[in-house]
A and B are shown apart, each in its own frame.
Chain A
Amino acid sequence: MKGFLYKLFFYFKHDSVNILRSFVSGLGILFLIAFFVMYLAVKSAVLSYISGSLLDNLASDEIKILPKNAKAVEYVKREGSPGISQELYSKIKSMPDFKATSTISRTPFSIRLKGEILGKSRSTFVPVCGVDRNLIKDKVPRWQSFYNKKPVPIIVPKFTIDLMNNYMSSMENLPPLSEKDFIGFPVELKFHAGKRNTPFYKEYFFDGEVHSFTDLLNFPGVIVPTDFLAEVTAQYRRETGGQAALDYAVVYARVKDPDKLPVIVSNLKSMGLKVESQKDIAEKTQKTMGLINEVFFAIMAVFLVVSIISIFNSYLAIVYIRSERFSLQRILGFPKISILSAFILESAVVGAVYGAGGYFIGNYLLSHGGEILSKWVPMLSAVHLETAGADILFCSVLFASAVCVIAAAIPGIFASNINLFKAVRK
């Protein structure tokens, strides 16, 4: 035992410098693992965001009907943006293949949202779209009470809590209000309908209240019930005789018989519409994930190659610097495996340390970086970056060790096969 302890002390005393050198060369592994941990978190966050999204998630018997030329869902109507007219929607609704339909509706009206605290008010233009109650069924708390009533219920993205706090509470030096505090918060909706300075221009005021907050909304605006928007636009038409101002960005339809989907899709296409099924959504998701994978893998591949070359070079330098020593070791009776195992053991230790280090750095960046990022881009607060678990720590340590061992193995083999007479023939 005494001899073994001396051996340990001996190696620590004389080889610790080499380990330090290897540590410097293996720094790339640290970033590789940190990046790997972040990649896993981003991947799972994006997947859960897409699958949990309020408006982009389809059941197996559900289809998404879009205007023919729509590249993506446009929740706010701009001039010339494609939409499904009310007449076309009526046709779809009357088709016998569907058991239920629901919509995302929109108007070209500018809408101002006004809030007031302690006599001080703030108002801002916000994008507004309408959804049917059954579209948010079981996805939003108290979804049953989301219909056209007074005051008008409004669903707000979660990230706006910070904006509301900035606008309202901080103005009055109040402590930040929570999501619960803002439920039922009174607001005023002001519709600017038609072109200004024309007989078609009208302003409408409605009382509203915050119905709920959701992070399932990939839309930087607020949601009101579709029947409310329909009522406002009908009123506008009646009063001014203007054109129908409501159309639909998307129609969600539930089919009676999923086996008939190909026929239904073909019928809808013949009506000049674009149709997406669960399969299409899955393909789109896969495409998005593919892109994320490609970007991350490309970056990780660069880190991996740089790390391997760096570790390889560092160990190769050790072999050349200490070639005389290795040669002497062989002459004194150290077997090849003993020299090779020193390289492998040393690189495995370096890899394990960097694996664990990279894991903790990755997790640190996820918890703190995510927070900072969502402050810069509030919409990203809906994407939850979860820190990696202990299983990933184990994988990171194993992976980093394996990379280091692979990089150090070849120099180790060089060292163990070194010219044995190098030491003799000085």
Chain B
Amino acid sequence: MKVAVCINHVPDTETKIKVGSDNKSIDRTGVNFMMSPYDEIAVEEALRMRDKFKGEVVVLSLGGEKHKETLRKALAMGVDKAVLLKDEAERDSFAVATGLAAELRALAPDVILFGKQSIDFDDAQVGTCVAEMLGIPSVGVVVKIDIQDKTVVCQREIEGGHETVQTVLPAVFLAQKGLNEPRYPSLKGIMAAKSKPIEEKPAAPAESRVITVAMRKPPAKATGKIIGTDKTAVPELLRLLHDEAKVI
């Protein structure tokens, strides 16, 4: 079985975002980047599929030179091959998907995994776009993937519950938290990853269809009031929620 995983290199979740001087993108100064957390789940799932069905796992990332750090982490986790589709420009999800789809078409994997969304732009589009571009099925926000020959039965998260979804391979799956617990790279894995090559090719993405015209911080919330230090504050809280906020 050939499994491809598409991963992204994003600011750490603990990062405080500052808007850059162009007012269109973030100030990257001092920002730590990491593999998008849902993509780690996707990589883990790919490794488990390889354990079960044999075959190989290829990771792809479309982006700048820095994306090699995240590809290197995937290698340390145990993937067989890493490909950087090199592109330093800011692109929308559609454009990124065209670049990835072109490479995936040639690769023809049985399974393509993505994180359910990349935690930078939170678009949750690229994986499903790739599936549509390749003309194959997709199942989003999966918490269980059970492959039986060419048929796949998934559990997918919906509001307040789960759906069981059946589909066929080849297909795209978008990993949600709960699918598995991603492994930490072992020391041996980290050492081995240093000598594994990262294949590099220029990406050929289409023009973006969504352009950012401005970025700003959300309006700061005014600091509210501290209304007490124990349960004697409860009547005042209820009064405020009723009279001022009008929420109860």
Please say whether chains A and B are actual partners in one complex: no
By a beta-carbon cutoff of 8 Å, the part of chain A in contact with chain B is none
By a beta-carbon cutoff of 8 Å, the part of chain B in contact with chain A is none
